[in-house]
A and B are shown apart, each in its own frame.
Chain A
Amino acid sequence: MAAASDISIPRRRFAVSRRLLPYLLSLPALLVCIAILIPFFTAVYYSLQRFRLSQPWNRGMNWGENYLNFLTDPDFWNTLQVSLTYAFLTVGLELLLGLGIALLLKKRTRLNNFISIMLLMPLMTAPALAALMWKLMTNPNFGILSYFAAQLGFPDFRWGSSPDTALFTVVLVDIWVYTPFIMILLLAGLRSLPTQPFEAAALDGVPRFQQFWRITLPMLMPYILTASLFRLLDSIQQFDIIYAMTQGGPGDTLMVFQVEAYLNFFQSTNVGRSAALLMILWVITYFLSNIFIKNWLRLRERARGEV
């Protein structure tokens, strides 16, 4: 019976590789990490330079000049204002809508589950393509939305091509694409809330309206925070929808950071200014993402704990 264990087992094999193993496993990911960091630092370097692709002879360090110029540059202030307006408008509206829909769908019925799955479809549509779809829908010749607008008494409603309504139009597309994101996160949050506080409140005769403010909302806060920050981080960098819809126009109505930087780079070939713009955007997102990651980790821990 004991014969098997008498087979001499080859021992003492990977003494060294055992300690190296985790490093070896993550080496490729590490390399990708470095491959991201190199262009990042290059961008920092560019942002400190006078650098136009069209004038290679004129290239040189100008240190903070690109940044200093922003102070007196109305285009920059316009960009900042448009980006912030867009970000807060979209996230605010999506949060309200998303929370509302999540509350409507809270109960686990077959219909609610079906609807919540259906609502994922806009989210899974590429934002650039979503913008094209809405562009077709708002086409002045045959767009169904233009037709509806005309029926409602706005025969000249020009959607994305008028400076007055361009922001409204892209925000609408953003809401169409991303509200389901907030909805689905909050729905998961709502459904994971413990039931005891609600039962206790019902026993105590707390009206449902107050239950929402006193119990649901505070308990849902971590989810709301994570979802909003997540969206805010994306929204302040929105490119796809705006570029596909109007390329930042008409005029400079929708010149958000990334569109402005993109056009600076490829149209005016002003690499230095483009990089400096992106650095400022990066600083904003860096702070936001630090707050976000802290919240996100806490939520992740909680999700892991529930397993």
Chain B
Amino acid sequence: MDHMSPIERWLRGIALTVVVLFFMFPIFWIVLMSLQTNETILRSPPSMVFEPTFGNYVAIIAGRLDSNVASMGIAFMDNLWNSILLSVGSVAVALLLGVPAAYAFARHKFRGSEEVAFTLLSFRFAPPLLVLLPLSLYFQQIGLANTYLGLIWVYQLICLPLILWIVRGYFEDISPDLEHAYRIAGHSWLSTFRRIALPLAGPGIAAAGLLAFIFAWNNFIFALVLASADKQPVTVGALAFVTASGIQYGQIAAAIVLSIAPTLALALYAQRYLVEGLSLGAVKG
């Protein structure tokens, strides 16, 4: 494979350039757009030459947009805050529930363990609305509708299978003898779990947590069904923002940039584990 003809090398280079352009351009363009005023955005033909401004970001962060026509409030920072709260909360709960369960599934083959693990997994692939629509009615009845608690609970639908299956794999990779050795040395079950199992599965738990965060952050449908405006994360909020502000394209772009920046940053940080996480532990990167 090492000897390529010059033509082949050229074709390869062109193909890669096209690929990179196609996949990178939208992000590049939205960032450019977010740094422009509406006037330069609406220029025709579009041009890369403009004076960058942070006005759009300032307006969003300040929560007010003052134009020469009118002044309007922007609640997008609330959406950002909701996203952080929901994602962090969901991951924390999923880790709290999922890590012990993953350990139990990895170490003790007990009756019904596989069934539970597979039920959780299979609902990862079931239509989310199937569970969401009845839940929305139940939530009305039991007062969980439009609460962070109710949303975080539903977010477990995506976070928990991810944590369970990835972390389980990491626990399975630890030789049981290490834990036996620590027990025999005189340590209790709990301290063995804390001092041996948890630290050794640590990288996996961290990776699964980061990925669960990304998936929770990127989720759209749960909050669309179950949350009203004041609890909505950025994914739903951005859509509402587009409808509400109509023509404030610069701010919309800035809002989108602010919304995707955290997951992109985390993904770059955790990229070593992405392959494994995306395939729920089926493929190692």
Contacts and interface: CB of A to CB of B under 8 A. Distances in A.
Interface of A: 14, 18, 21-23, 25-26, 28-30, 32-33, 35-40, 42-43, 46, 100-101, 104-105, 107, 115, 117-130, 132-137, 139, 141-142, 144, 147, 176, 179-181, 184-185, 188-189, 192, 198, 208, 223, 226-227, 230, 233, 237, 239-240, 243-244, 257-258, 261-262, 265, 271, 274-275, 278-279, 281-282, 285-286, 288-289, 292-293, 296-297, 299-300, 303-304, 306-307
Residue of B134, B160, B238, B280 ringed by the most chain A CB atoms within 10 A: B134
Dominant secondary structure of chain A at its interface with chain B: helix
A104 B107 contact: no
Contacts of A278: 127, 129-130, 133
6 contacts: A32-B153, A43-B131, A126-B220, A184-B275, A185-B278, A282-B126
B62 interface: no
Given A28-B97, A147-B45, A226-B279, A36 B123 contact: yes
Given A28-B101, A129-B256, A181-B278, A117 B271 contact: yes
A216 B278 CA distance: 23
Given A126-B220, A240-B221, 13 more contacts: A35-B153, A39-B138, A43-B130, A120-B274, A124-B214, A124-B218, A124-B263, A124-B267, A237-B127, A278-B130, A285-B125, A304-B169, A304-B172
B233 to A, nearest CB: 9
B130 A40 contact: yes
B99 to A, nearest CB: 9
B252 A118 contact: no
A237 B217 contact: no
Nearest to A274: B133
A29 B275 contact: no
Nearest to B268: A117
Nearest to B97: A28
B24 interface: yes
Interface residues of B, number: 98
Contact of B104 (A21, A180, A239, A282): A21
B74 interface: no
A261 B256 CA distance: 27
Residue of B43, B127, B276 ringed by the most chain A CB atoms within 10 A: B127
Nearest to A139: B249
A25 B105 CA distance: 9
Interface string B239-274: 100100000010011001001100110111001001
B203 to A, nearest CB: 13
Contacts of B98: 29
Contacts of B1: 107, 198, 208
Contact of A121 (B22, B27, B279, B280): B27
A176 B157 CA distance: 25
Contacts of B19: 101, 104, 115, 119
A18 to B, nearest CB: 8
Contacts of A38: 138
Contacts of A119: 19-20, 23
Contacts of A123: 267, 278
A143 B234 CA distance: 22
B28 to A, nearest CB: 10
Given A142-B46, A144-B46, A303-B282, A129 B238 contact: yes
